[in-house]
Structure 1
Amino acid sequence: MANIALFPGSFDPFTKGHEDIVRRGLQLFDEVIIGIGRNASKQRYFALEQMTAWIEETFRDTPQVRVVAYDDLTANVARKLGARFLLRGLRNTTDFEYENGIAQVNRYVYEEVETVFLITSPHLAPISSSIIRDLHRYGQPVEAFLPYSIELRDESKESRTTT
């Protein structure tokens, strides 16, 4: 039986910190599935389809990684995908407090799932998706924080600045 981990998140955007967690997770798991969850209470900054394409491009040479989008409880998705592990990154103690509660609920929904936390690599710890969105929104370069290029391909930036 393969050890499959689901790495869930909104990934808006998917950062070098996220990439680092996935690549390190591959040292522990046979397959890592990046699950982009839909959150009805949040408006995405980057289109889901575009983010999926960027993440797939990032891992195009890594067949043990795949990307799925979902609109369900993470634990239910893990069960459906045959993932017995949830992979999560922790940047700081605040992340731990938040993630601990989620891990407990996921275990309640799907008893066989284990959440595995990896501590973010120190040089990537300051990176957060919300900071990157703010920088991008106001025209600052964000390439240093992302494992793919968005500046030339992101048409959403133009649509936000002209409306």
Structure 2
Amino acid sequence: MASIAVCPGSFDPVTYGHLDIITRGAKVFDQVIVAVLHNRNKQPMFSAEERVQLLKEVTSHLDNVVIDSFNGLLINYMQEKKANTIIRGLRAVSDFEYEMQAASINKKLGPEIETFFMMTNNHYSYLSSSIVKEVAKYEADVSDIVPDIVAEALKKKFKES
């Protein structure tokens, strides 16, 4: 049976920290579905379609990575995709409490699904999409924290607004 993992997130925008987790997950699982969440509680800079497209471009070299998007509960999406593992990256201790709660409710809703935590590479432990947007807003160089295509997309978004 193939191991299918889902790496969910908002990816607004995708960073090198995200790519680190996705790439490492792709070495562990037969297939990794990177699932862009439509989160009603957030006002994303990029539409879900734009985030999916950026992810497709920056993961095109990973043969076993598929990009998708979803609404609703992650567990329902996992069951629909016949996935058995959730991949989550942990940057710091501050991430742990939220991730533990999410993993616990996911286990209650889908006992057959496991959560696989990966520590983010130390080079990216400070990195979040929010920080990237804040830095890019002031036209600072973000080329060492996001792929070039994402840096260009950020510049374009801030010029439009």
Q: TM-score range by the shorter chain?
A: over 0.9
C-alpha displacement at 1:105, in angstroms?
0.7
> 1:106 is matched by which residue type in structure 2?
N
Closer/same/farther in 2, CA of residues 123 and 54 from structure 1, 3 Å limit: same
Matches within 5 A, 1:33-112: 33-112=33-112
C-alpha displacement at 1:47, in angstroms?
2.3
**Structure 1 runs (4+) greater than 6 angstroms displaced:** none
**Partner SS, residue 57 of structure 2:** helix
In the aligned structure 2, how far is the partner of 1:148 from the partner of 1:52?
16
C-alpha displacement at 1:128, in angstroms?
1.0
**Partner SS, residue 27 of structure 1:** helix
Instruction: Give the match for residue 14 of structure 1.
Output: 14
In the aligned structure 2, how far is the partner of 1:151 from the partner of 1:98?
29
Instruction: Give the match for residue 128 of structure 2.
Output: 128
Instruction: Give the match for residue 158 of structure 1.
Output: 159
In the aligned structure 2, how far is the partner of 1:38 from the partner of 1:131?
20
C-alpha displacement at 1:27, in angstroms?
2.0
> 2:51 is matched by which residue type in structure 1?
M
Q: Which runs of 5+ in 1 are unaligned?
A: none
Q: Do the aligned partners of 2:17 and 2:121 also contact (CA within 8 Å) in 1? A: yes
Bigger mean CA deviation after superposition, 95-104 or 52-61: 52-61
Bigger mean CA deviation after superposition, 110-119 or 137-146: 137-146
In the aligned structure 2, how far is the partner of 1:132 from the partner of 1:151?
9
Q: Do the aligned partners of 2:33 and 2:68 also contact (CA within 8 Å) in 1? A: yes
| Number of positions where the alignment pairs a residue of Structure 1 with one of Structure 2 | 160
**Partner SS, residue 88 of structure 2:** strand
Q: Do the aligned partners of 1:12 and 1:44 also contact (CA within 8 Å) in 2? A: yes
**Partner SS, residue 45 of structure 2:** coil
Instruction: Give the match for residue 149 of structure 2.
Output: 149
Instruction: Give the match for residue 25 of structure 1.
Output: 25
C-alpha displacement at 1:121, in angstroms?
0.8
> 1:15 is matched by which residue type in structure 2?
T
Q: Do the aligned partners of 2:14 and 2:150 also contact (CA within 8 Å) in 1? A: no
**Larger relative helix fraction:** 2
C-alpha displacement at 1:139, in angstroms?
1.9
Q: Do the aligned partners of 2:26 and 2:62 also contact (CA within 8 Å) in 1? A: no
Q: Do the aligned partners of 2:10 and 2:39 also contact (CA within 8 Å) in 1? A: yes
In the aligned structure 2, how far is the partner of 1:89 from the partner of 1:9?
10
In the aligned structure 1, how far is the partner of 2:23 from the partner of 2:76?
24
C-alpha displacement at 1:67, in angstroms?
0.7
In the aligned structure 2, how far is the partner of 1:12 from the partner of 1:29?
24
